[in-house]
């Protein structure tokens, strides 16, 4: 993979990483919409495509924001935006070209590709696992890996002390984290995390206007493939995330379309999730709104536990009301064995809503 990316960049081409775990139809749709000029298969075979469309000078990466559902949208990153993110991250983490990373996230997402880019751009030593495998973590560390990027479900399955630094993103972080774990906030359009532990990386500017997060970053993408949609307004990129910025500390409440409106009151799922997670025995919790004929939406909590314990609605509601307004307390609690996830470890909301429906 490193060789193919380096070769493409040396020739002035951009790369489009495709998740091989996608259904064949989804992969075909991705190729049809984003129109690469050639495809390099897992076996190294090259297939030329007559309908391929060129990229602009300086373009390095086209990465899809949609995989198994929806119309793929290609986010374009240039060599300049990629290098900007790598430099800002290295400055915050005090890393350099000798830092050995473990890559165990899909390179079809920026969380994984940004690790790969460190090896291609700067020659960082890299241990590559096709996917996260907790049983192979010791091998990676023994081979020299000191840094890794993970999602929360993976972090819960390893001894974090084995690494010098762990970047954590992709989903809500647990309430209590080891000191060597840095939570991150970012998106495909910023080439990954631009906020570490609530603090923007140097060069990044983030503001909250009426609880809407807007930002400026040297790592901000050039545009969407085959789209004239403006990247920013007056230099500001509107993220559609809700949050606040107080004394330079960024707090993200969630996507604006995740907000629950119940009886005219606004409830942010992340706030309720953080409170419920404080209950003993809970492995993971996700809160979302479901349609309700009386209240418009009702607050629903899906909970998985470490020992299969069942959490009663009354106990959960009483606990939440000790920390948050009463309207934030779930109207329904669904205890499940495991929270469904996408290939990147993010919560599969569509699948989740079907559980207990």
Per-residue pLDDT tens for 79-99? 999 999 999 999 999 999 999
For residue 12, the SS3 value is coil
How much is the average pLDDT of 317-328? 94
Is 95:115 a contact under the CB 8 Å cutoff?
A: no
Cα of 61 vs its chain's centroid, Å: 17
Residue 79, Cβ density class (10 Å: 0-12 exposed, 13-18 middle, ≥19 buried): middle
pLDDT band at 67 (very low <50, low <70, confident <90, very high): very low
Q: What is the per-residue pLDDT for 306?
A: 76
Longest pairwise C-alpha distance within the chain: 63
For residue 254, the SS3 value is strand
Please spell the DSSP secondary structure of 42-89, one letter per residue: TTS-EEE-TT-----TTEEEEEES-SSSS---EEEEEHHHHHHHHHHH
Q: What is the per-residue pLDDT for 39?
A: 94
How much is the average pLDDT of 22-27? 83
60 compared with 22, residue with greater pLDDT: 60
Q: What is the per-residue pLDDT for 171?
A: 78
For residue 245, the SS3 value is strand
For residue 162, the SS3 value is helix
For 107-123, how does the pLDDT look when each residue is reduced to its tens digit (9 = 90+)? 999 999 999 999 999 99
Is 60:77 a contact under the CB 8 Å cutoff?
A: yes
127 compared with 256, residue with greater pLDDT: 127
How much is the average pLDDT of 42-55? 90
313 compared with 173, residue with greater pLDDT: 313
**Which residues in the chain are classed under CATH 3.40.50.12780?**
1-256
Bridge partners (DSSP) of residue 94 are: none
pLDDT band at 69 (very low <50, low <70, confident <90, very high): very low
pLDDT band at 71 (very low <50, low <70, confident <90, very high): low
**Which residues in the chain are classed under CATH 3.30.300.30?**
259-354
Range with the poorest average pLDDT among 185-194, 233-242, 243-252, 295-304: 233-242
Q: Which option is the CATH number for 1-256: 2.60.120.10, 3.90.1150.10, 3.40.50.12780, 3.40.50.720? A: 3.40.50.12780
How much is the average pLDDT of 161-185? 93
Is 64:107 a contact under the CB 8 Å cutoff?
A: no
Q: How far is CA 270 from CA 75, 91, 106, 165, in A?
A: 27, 29, 25, 25
Q: What is the per-residue pLDDT for 70?
A: 54
CB within 8 A of 260, min separation 6: which ones? 266, 267, 268, 269, 287, 288, 289, 297, 299
CA distance 160 to 297: 39
How much is the average pLDDT of 313-328? 94
Q: What is the rounded average pLDDT for all residues in the chain? A: 92
Q: CATH top-level class for 259-354?
A: alpha beta
Bridge partners (DSSP) of residue 304 are: 284
What letter does residue 341 receive in the DSSP assignment?
Answer: B
Q: What is the per-residue pLDDT for 291?
A: 92
Is 166:157 a contact under the CB 8 Å cutoff?
A: no
Would you tell me the crossing angle of helices 110-122 and 79-93 to the nearest 10 degrees?
90
């Amino acid at each position: 993979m490193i060789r193919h990316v380096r070769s493409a960049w040396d020739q002035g081409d951009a790369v489009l990483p495709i998740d091989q775990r996608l259904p064949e139809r989804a992969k075909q749709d991705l190729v049809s919409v984003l129109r690469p000029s050639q495809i390099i298969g897992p076996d190294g075979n090259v297939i030329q495509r007559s309908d391929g469309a060129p990229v602009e000078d300086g373009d390095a990466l086209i990465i899809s924001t949609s995989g198994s559902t929806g119309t793929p949208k290609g986010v374009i990153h240039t060599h300049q935006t990629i290098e900007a993110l790598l430099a800002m991250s290295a400055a915050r983490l005090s890393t350099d070209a000798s830092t050995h990373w473990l890559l165990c996230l899909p390179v079809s997402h920026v969380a994984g590709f940004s690790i790969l880019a460190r090896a291609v751009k700067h020659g960082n030593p890299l241990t590559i696992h096709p996917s996260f495998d907790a049983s192979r973590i010791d091998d990676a560390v023994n081979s020299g890996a000191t840094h890794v990027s993970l999602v929360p479900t993976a972090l819960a399955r390893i001894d974090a002390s084995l690494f010098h630094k762990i970047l954590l993103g992709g989903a809500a972080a647990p309430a209590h984290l080891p000191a060597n774990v840095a939570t991150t906030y970012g998106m495909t359009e910023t080439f990954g995390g631009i906020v570490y532990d609530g603090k923007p990386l140097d060069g990044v500017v983030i503001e909250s206007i009426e609880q809407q997060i807007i930002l400026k970053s040297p790592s901000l993408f050039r545009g969407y493939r085959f789209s004239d949609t403006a990247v920013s307004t007056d230099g500001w990129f509107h993220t559609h995330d809700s949050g606040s910025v107080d004394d330079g500390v960024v707090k993200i409440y969630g996507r604006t379309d995740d907000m629950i409106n119940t009886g005219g009151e606004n409830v942010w799922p992340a706030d309720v999730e953080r409170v419920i997670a404080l209950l003993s025995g809970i492995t993971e919790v996700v809160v979302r709104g479901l349609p309700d004929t009386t209240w418009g939406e009702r607050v629903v909590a899906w909970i998985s536990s470490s020992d299969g314990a069942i959490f009663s609605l009354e106990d959960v509601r009483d606990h939440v009301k000790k920390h948050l307004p009463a309207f934030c307390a779930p109207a329904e609690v669904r205890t499940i064995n495991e929270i469904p996830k996408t290939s990147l470890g993010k919560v599969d909301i569509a699948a989740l809503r079907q559980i207990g429906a």
